[in-house]
Structure 1
Amino acid sequence: MGGQDSRSFEELLAEGVAVPTEGWDFSWFEGRATEARPSWGYAVSLADRLAAATAALDLQTGGGEVLEFALGRATKAPVLTVATEGWPPNVAKATALLAPRGVAVVASPEDAPLPFADGAFDLVTSRHPVQAPWPEIARVLRPGGTYFAQHVGPHSVFELVEYFLGPQPEEVRSGRHPERERADAEAAGLEVVDLRAEELRIEFHDIAAVVHFLRKVIWMVPDFTVEAYRPQLRSLHERIASDGPFVAHSTRHLFEARRPDA
C-alpha cells in the first residue's frame, strides 16, 4: 500500500528540519513513526527501583523525561536524586523539568569523570547512554549498590544507517554488543545480575520523520544534513510514497549490575 501523505517532498523536508530536537521526548513522532517497546517496561521498573533507593544518580538523562515519569510513579522518592547531562540545551530542559521534583541536574560531559564522591549512590540508572562509563559507575556505587539501565544494542536502526552510509564494517555493526558490555562491567568489578536483549520493529511513515530522527539521534548518521543527503532523501520519500513505511529494527538490552558488598 502506498503512503497516504499528500504533502510535497519539500514541505515534508521543511517540517522535519523545523521541529526542535532538545530533550528525549518522542511524542512528535505520533502518527509519523512507530517503534515497538521492550517487554520489560523500563520506566515503570525504574519507578520501583527509585522507591527502594536512598541516593540515586541518573546518567545522561537527556531532557529528564524518563526520570521525571518514573519519579511521578514511584511510591516514594529517594532522599537524594541527581542527574547528569552533557548537552547544554538538554541541561536546561532537564533542569526545568526535574527541579520541581527536587532533582539537581549537573552539567557533565559523557566522557568526563563523574563529579561525585566514591560510594555516593546506592542506585545508578541510565536510559540509552552514549557509552556506559563502567569504572566510574563502579566507583560512585556503594557496596551492594545497583546499576539499572536500558542500553541501545548493536546495529540498531542500521537499515536506515546503511541506507545513507552504505554497508558498515563488522566492528561498527557489533558495537554496543551486550556481551561485550557484560565483560566491561565485570572488568570494572561489577556483578551482572540481569541482561536481556530484544529486537524491535520501527516504521517511518514519511520523510519528515526520517529527517527529524536523524537530526535528533545525531550519532546514527554523524554528518547528516538535508543538503548533504537530499538525493537519498528524495529517493526514500518516493519509496515510502509507493511502497509504504520504511521498516527498520532497533535493538535494546536491559542491564542490571551490582557492586559487590565490601
Structure 2
Amino acid sequence: MRSFEELVAEGAAVPTDGWDFSWFEGRASEARPSWRYAESLAGRLARAEAALDVQTGGGEVLDFALGRAAPAVPARTVATEGWPPNLARATALLQPRGVTVVGAPEDAPLPFPDASFDLVSSRHPVRPDWAEIVRVLRPGGTYFAQHVGPASVFELTEFFLGPRPEEARRGRDPEGERAAAEAAGLEVVELRAERLRMEFHDIAAVVHFLRKVVWIVPDFTVERYASRLRELDERIRAEGSFTAHSTRHLFDARRAERG
C-alpha cells in the first residue's frame, strides 16, 4: 500500500461533483437496499405523465432510471438542483434526454405551479419539504423517494467528532418523517428501512467520502483532522478495513384524490 501522504493527497484531489461513486470501486463498498431504488423509480417513470426529481445531484440516478424506463418515459420530466457544480453536471447529462433542469436552492419553495406533477421523486434529499411536495403533486399523485436514515455512518462521524448526543442519533427518523408527511396531506403507502454495511479499505477513500458527503463530518478538512486521519490509516492497515453502517428508508406516499 502507498504511503499515508500519497493516499491522503489522492483522496483530496478527486472531484466531488455529482453522485457517481465509481471511483470507490475496490477501495470502499456499501451494501445496497433490497428495494433497488433506481430500478423501482424506472417503473414509476414509465407510468408517469409529468415527473419531478428534487435535488437530483449530478442527475445520475434519474438518467439511469429514464434509460430503464425508455421508451415509456413521461411527456414532461423536470429536475431541480441547488449546488452549481452538480447543476452543470445534471444539465449536461439530462438535457439530451429531454429533461428540463432547474436551479433551485434546497431550502427554497419549488419553482412550479400547484398540482404540476403526478410523480415527485428524490434520492437522499437533504430535508424533504412536505408542504411543497404536496403542493406540486396532482391529486392522486405519488412521492417516491429514498431517504438517508438516522445515525447513518455514525461510526465514521464519531471516530472524528466523538460520541454524538442522543438527539443527533434520532434525526431523520423514518417514523417522524411519516408523521410529518401525513400531517402535510400525504398517505404513506409503504415505508421500509434498512441498515447496510459499509467498508473503507484505504484512507484515500475516507478522505474523498468525507469531502463528498459533507454532513458526515461537517467541518472536515485534511488539515483539521490530520492526526485522526493518520490514526485511522494505521487502523485500516492493521485490520484491513474500517466498517460503518448506512441507514436508508424508502418512501412511497400518495396525495389524496381530493384536497
1:16 to 11, 19, 33: 11
Task: Give the corresponding residue for 1:124.
Answer: 120
Alpha-carbon displacement from aligned partner over 1:110-160 (angstroms, at most 9, x marks no partner): 100000000000000000000111000000000000000000000000000
CA distance in 2, matches of 1:200, 1:222: 22
Q: Which amino acid aligns with 2:235?
A: R
Task: Give the corresponding residue for 2:129.
Answer: 133
Q: Which amino acid aligns with 1:65?
A: E
2:185 to 186, 189, 208: 189
Tell me by how many angstroms 1:244 deviates. Answer: 1.3
CA distance in 1, matches of 2:216, 2:239: 24
Query: Which stretches of structure 1, 4 residues or longer, exceed 6 Å deviation after superposition?
Result: none
Task: Give the corresponding residue for 1:27.
Answer: 22
- Give the SS at the match of 1:250: strand
Tell me by how many angstroms 1:210 deviates. Answer: 0.2
1:66 to 41, 61, 70: 61
Alpha-carbon displacement from aligned partner over 1:4-57 (angstroms, at most 9, x marks no partner): xx2000000000001000000000000000000000000000000000000000
Task: Give the corresponding residue for 2:234.
Answer: 238
Residue identity over aligned pairs, in percent, reads: 76
Task: Give the corresponding residue for 2:246.
Answer: 250
Task: Give the corresponding residue for 1:115.
Answer: 111
Between Structure 1 and Structure 2, how many residues are aligned?
257
Give the structure-2-normalised TM-score: 0.99
Alpha-carbon displacement from aligned partner over 1:144-182 (angstroms, at most 9, x marks no partner): 000000000000000000000000111111100000000
In the alignment, does 2:68 pair up with 1:56? no
In the alignment, does 2:169 pair up with 1:154? no
Gaps of 5+ in 1: 1-5
2:90 to 81, 94, 99: 94
Give the structure-1-normalised TM-score: 0.98
Alpha-carbon displacement from aligned partner over 1:181-213 (angstroms, at most 9, x marks no partner): 000101101100000000000000000000000
Tell me by how many angstroms 1:219 deviates. Answer: 1.0
CA distance in 2, matches of 1:101, 1:77: 10
CA distance in 1, matches of 2:67, 2:33: 21
Q: Which amino acid aligns with 2:34?
A: S
Task: Give the corresponding residue for 1:3.
Answer: none
